[in-house]
Amino acid sequence: MVLEREKVYNSLFYEQSGVVKLKIVFTNQLTETWLSEVKSLKEEFPEVEFITFKDAQHPRALLETANAVVGGHFSDEEIEKAKNLKVIFVPWAGVNMLPWDVIRKKSITVTNTHANSKTVAERAVALCLALTGRIVEYHNDLSKGIWHGFPVGLPKSDFWTSIQGKTCAIIGFGNIGRHVAKMIKAFDCHVVGFKKHPIENLSENVDEVTTDLDIAISKSQIVFVTMPLTGETKNMFNSEVFSKMKGKLLINVSRGEIVNEEALYISLKDGILAGAAIDTWYQYPTGKENAILPSKYPIHSFKNVVISPHVAGVTEGNIKKMVKDTLKNVKSYLKSGKVIDKVNSNLMY
């Protein structure tokens, strides 16, 4: 078995004449779950050097000599200097924080994992239900003794909206989008999937798929955004698109920059959008004690907005699955030279 691996290693990482111990560096934040799985990896592949913060004070500083790296945030300079780097294992789905120009130039393989797709979809639906059901608004009011509905005479302004039978557009019909479709089908929703590139076969939980964003939006009352962030999708939802969304709801669990920040604020302020529920943002804290609002605009102040701190994938089970899927990818590469989830370097997903 070791001899077979050495053949794979030779073809993957160094010239036949070289005698080099393979070096795989972990630059991502490692929990006990990660450390336990990496320990098992070291035992299974003793001929490979796996470096975490437990092995080196600054693992990122060893990128220059690494053959592979686990992480998802790198600068152009870091990847440019990594002369031996052949593969980047991103332990989540989003790969928008990678220096793609350098990666393409150096023909580096990038892999990711879709372990969190179900829970991100679940969060999207939960945000949608919280928004249409006015859950947060009514919770905040009742905590102050302010009642709604039957106890105060059932004013029409107190009605909430059911999603049952609604037409929903899912913008980005990949792993997360398909799970959203499956979940909202329980509410008898009509599902319109949007893909930038045509697909041949419809999945069982979608009623129609289009490559025309205007068509997807015009047909729908609720719009879920589940696309990856790329050069093409950045600011996809701008003032022009929002002008066509009068009375519609927006649910974003993808990346903040897909939705233009100023255009989103104005569409809410001017009453174009009926509401928004958002898990991904524009401003993030730089440290544990750094309190910061998620946008430079007071989007959080609207009563028809539900906000969430980018936690759609943050569950205990999810983290464990993400770790296992990432290291399964590492094992596959070490054993066969092939990765399980390869990212298209041109499409960036």
**At 88, is the secondary structure helix, strand, or coil?**
strand
Q: Is 312 within a domain?
A: no
pLDDT average, residue stretch 273-286: 96
**Per-residue pLDDT tens for 235-245?**
999 999 999 99
Q: Do residues 160 and 296 share a domain?
A: yes
User: Is residue 193 pLDDT above 70, yes or no?
Assistant: yes
Angle CA(193)–CA(125)–CA(349) in degrees, nearest 5? 50
Q: Is 346 within a domain?
A: no
Q: Do residues 80 and 144 share a domain?
A: no
The answer to whether 134 and 274 have CB atoms below 8 angstroms apart is no
Whole-number Å distance between alpha carbons of 170 and 193: 5
Helices (H), the chain: 2-13, 32-44, 76-81, 100-105, 117-132, 135-142, 175-184, 213-218, 239-242, 261-269, 316-336
Q: Percent of the chain at pLDDT above 70? A: 94
pLDDT at 7: 53
User: Which has the minimum average pLDDT: 11-25, 88-102, 198-212, 265-279?
Assistant: 11-25
User: How many other C-beta atoms are found inside a 10 Å radius of the C-beta of residue 227?
Assistant: 25
Q: Is 39 within a domain?
A: yes
Q: Do residues 191 and 261 share a domain?
A: yes
Kind plus residue range of the DSSP H or E element containing 48: strand 48-51
The answer to whether 295 and 265 have CB atoms below 8 angstroms apart is yes
Q: Do residues 138 and 264 share a domain?
A: yes
* pLDDT band at 15; cut points 50, 70, 90: very low
User: How many other C-beta atoms are found inside a 10 Å radius of the C-beta of residue 125?
Assistant: 21
User: Is residue 289 pLDDT above 90, yes or no?
Assistant: no
**Per-residue pLDDT tens for 149-175?**
999 999 999 999 999 999 999 999 999
Q: Do residues 9 and 91 share a domain?
A: yes
Q: What would the two tokens of residue 63 be? A: 């990128």
The residue to which tokens 């104005």 are assigned: 266
pLDDT average, residue stretch 116-127: 97
**Per-residue pLDDT tens for 201-212?**
777 899 999 999
Q: Is 226 within a domain?
A: yes
pLDDT average, residue stretch 42-57: 94
Whole-number Å distance between alpha carbons of 316 and 265: 33
Secondary structure letter of residue 159 according to DSSP: -
User: Is residue 267 pLDDT above 80, yes or no?
Assistant: yes
* pLDDT band at 21; cut points 50, 70, 90: confident
Between 220 and 31, the higher pLDDT residue = 220
pTM of the model: 0.90
The answer to whether 49 and 76 have CB atoms below 8 angstroms apart is no
User: Is residue 101 pLDDT above 80, yes or no?
Assistant: yes
Whole-number Å distance between alpha carbons of 272 and 281: 20
Q: Is 259 within a domain?
A: yes
Average pLDDT of the chain, as a whole number? 92
Q: Do residues 183 and 93 share a domain?
A: no
Q: Do residues 121 and 138 share a domain?
A: yes
pLDDT at 114: 93
pLDDT at 56: 93
* pLDDT band at 16; cut points 50, 70, 90: very low
The residue to which tokens 């990660």 are assigned: 34
> Burial of 302 by CB count in 10 Å (0-12 exposed, 13-18 middle, 19+ buried)?
middle
Q: Do residues 294 and 247 share a domain?
A: yes
The answer to whether 123 and 252 have CB atoms below 8 angstroms apart is no
Q: Is 63 within a domain?
A: yes
Domain that holds residue 220: 117-307
Domain CATH code at residue 223: 3.40.50.720
Whole-number Å distance between alpha carbons of 95 and 105: 17
Q: Counting runs of H as helices and runs of E as strands, what totals does the chain give? A: 11, 12
* pLDDT band at 8; cut points 50, 70, 90: low
Q: Do residues 282 and 184 share a domain?
A: yes
Nearest CA-CA partner of 66 in 47, 77, 46, 81: 81
Q: Is 342 within a domain?
A: no
Beta-sheet pairing, 208-210 with 275-278? unpaired
User: Is residue 14 pLDDT above 50, yes or no?
Assistant: no
pLDDT at 11: 53
Q: Do residues 123 and 255 share a domain?
A: yes
Whole-number Å distance between alpha carbons of 96 and 347: 11
- Three-state DSSP string of 269-325: HCCCCCEEEECCCCCCCCCCCCCCCCCCCCHHHCCCEEECCCCCCCCHHHHHHHHHH
| Partner residues linked to 282 by β-bridges | none
Q: Do residues 39 and 157 share a domain?
A: no
Q: What would the two tokens of residue 179 be? A: 């799970």
Q: Is 345 within a domain?
A: no
pLDDT at 17: 37
Q: Do residues 190 and 302 share a domain?
A: yes
Nearest CA-CA partner of 257 in 290, 283, 276: 283
pLDDT at 174: 92
Q: Percent of the chain at pLDDT above 90? A: 86
Specify the number of domains making up the chain.
2
